[in-house]
Amino acid sequence: AGAGKIPESLGLAVGAVFLVVLILVQQAHGLVLRAADGEARWWDAWLPGGGRAAGEAERRHLLVMLNYDVSLASICFMLFLGFADDVLDIPWRTKILLPAVAALPLLAAYMGGTAILLPRAVRALVGVSLLELGALYKLYMLLFVIFCTNSINIHAGLNGLEAGQTFVVACAVLSFNIQQLAGRAFDASGARVGVDLADEHLLSACLMVPLLGTTLGLLKFNWFPSKVFVGDTFTYFAGMVLAVAGILGHFSETMLVFMLPQVLNFVYSTPQLFKIVPCPRHRLPTFDPKTGLLHPTPRPDGGPNLNLVNLFLRVFGPTTEEALCVRLMVFQVLCCCLGLVLHILMEGRYK
């Protein structure tokens, strides 16, 4: 990234812009939803009582606005805690639980179902289609948030890697949302019924668009050679946005397939993360100034550092930082494509 001073924690600026844009999107979504439910002109919603519908339509509007509010609260909370980590250098064992604190607004205000649809093979064995989890579903949501935020944070260390993986996953999520919305716009007979403005995939898409825009701007300056560093502020913020989209959009299983590299990196890193083997504070590759290549780094006990970055260097050999980042991004793209294809092939068959 050069020898000069490089600004750090630029994820704070990206997160702030994201929050402002999402608030504007929320207001626009609310106006259009009120106008559609009240069968009024969209500008009537600005007038006192204009475009206001009662009963079910009002409940739909309030639920959509609540989902936006809890999204904003959790994302803003995570953005603050990520910046606090950059400034205070919080120990790993403490900061791994920071997302649990930021997820409290989401857990407290969650009004969706807590039952899961069982796979068809399991239904034949247990005799039921839905399994009510109750509080266990809230625990799953909490663990999902902790995973999404920390998984991006530990799959890092190269110029452009944090922003790049976020951009790729967000593109996959948006493509999935559009595919789902397009499918639901037609009934079983093929007649067009239009898009439900309260659909959870529309909310997820509204989260992804500003995330893509802000991340792309950051990636332009964070790509090798980096002019800015994203910091834990961005990794926690980006992970929380993806977690909120997966939970409120009810596609956390698909999200985990999109994030398969992060899942593999977490599982592979488990022995070091839980101190089963020695784990240095930083597990970054070693740079050889003579060749300009990166080499995998050993642990203090002589064994290999257990993460995908070092694994790729051991498997494919020493390479430049930019080339290594491109290889990891290609792997991320392939996993996202796999997730989209699997969902299309298994939709209506698996569950």
Q: Tell me the residue type at 206.
A: C
- Burial-class residue 3 by CB neighbours within 10 Å (0-12, 13-18, 19+): exposed
pLDDT in tens, 196-223: 888 899 999 999 999 999 999 999 999 9
Tally of CB atoms within 10 A around 314: 12
* pLDDT band for position 347 (cuts 50, 70, 90): confident
Token pair belonging to 38: 């009240």
For residue 196, how many C-alpha atoms fall within 13 Å in the half-sphere facing its CB?
Answer: 16
Question: Can the peptide bond before residue 225 be classed as cis, meaning omega within 30 degrees of 0?
Answer: yes
Contact predicate 163/121, CB 8 Å: no
Q: In the 8-state DSSP scheme, what is residue 192? A: B
- CA–CA dist 233, 220 (Å, integer): 18
- CA–CA dist 219, 161 (Å, integer): 9
Checking if the pLDDT of 2 tops 60, the result is no
The alpha-helical segments, DSSP class H, found in 223-286 are: 231-248, 252-258, 260-273
Chain centre distance of CA 150: 11
pLDDT in tens, 75-117: 999 999 999 999 888 887 777 788 999 999 999 888 888 888 8
pLDDT in tens, 237-266: 999 999 999 999 999 999 999 999 999 999
Q: Classify strands 130-132 and 293-295 as parallel, antiparallel or unpaired.
A: unpaired
- Angle among Cα 149, 153, 158 to the nearest 5 degrees reads 145
